[in-house]
Copies of this chain bind each other. A is one copy, B any other.
């Protein structure tokens, strides 16, 4: 990247470029290890300008985490179609692939959210709530999921099941394939909901 290219970026493009770079760093590291020095080096711009765009190191990290959550939601958007289980399987296969590709960062996000960073927890809880709401709003799912307190509780618990199972699988796949994993976490939802009948 040359100085000429750099000066051509608008502030929005620059901010975008920094977030994209932050995301790449975040995929292989923990939130607290997202390095402003490395970012500044890779983007070829000064630390001061990074602070200008994001206010503080923490502000930058939170923007990266927010972007990661947005990406996760976008990448796991269920496809068009009629069969809710087929749609769920496609969405969860995308989720598994997302976790595989962004393992360190995703694990770090889940841990930071569970551990007590309030901002990260809010980002994470909002993303989780958006995915749960989307699940209930998917056409065809109403046949599968009555929107009752017990079902909401089970769907929420199912999300925890999916997260834990996929992260545990990344640590030790142990002969279970990616497709088998996606099927396990997909089939879990109707199986859990069916116990409420």
A interface residue numbers (CB < 8 A to B): 110-112, 114-116, 149-150, 152-154, 156-165, 168-169, 174-176, 180-181, 184-185, 187-188, 191-192, 194-196
Contact = CB atoms under 8 A, between A and B. Distances in A.
A158 B185 CA distance: 11
Copies of this chain in its oligomeric complex: 2
- Main SS of chain A's interface residues? helix
A163 B160 contact: yes
A161 B158 contact: yes
Contact of A153 (B174, B187, B194, B196): B174
A91 to B, nearest CB: 17
Contacts of A175: 149
Contact of A191 (B162, B180, B184, B192): B192
Contact of A115 (B111, B154, B185): B111
A168 B156 contact: yes
A140 B187 CA distance: 25
11 contacts: A111-B114, A149-B175, A152-B174, A153-B165, A153-B176, A154-B188, A158-B161, A160-B163, A160-B164, A161-B192, A188-B195
A34 to B, nearest CB: 15
A192 B168 CA distance: 16
A44 to B, nearest CB: 33
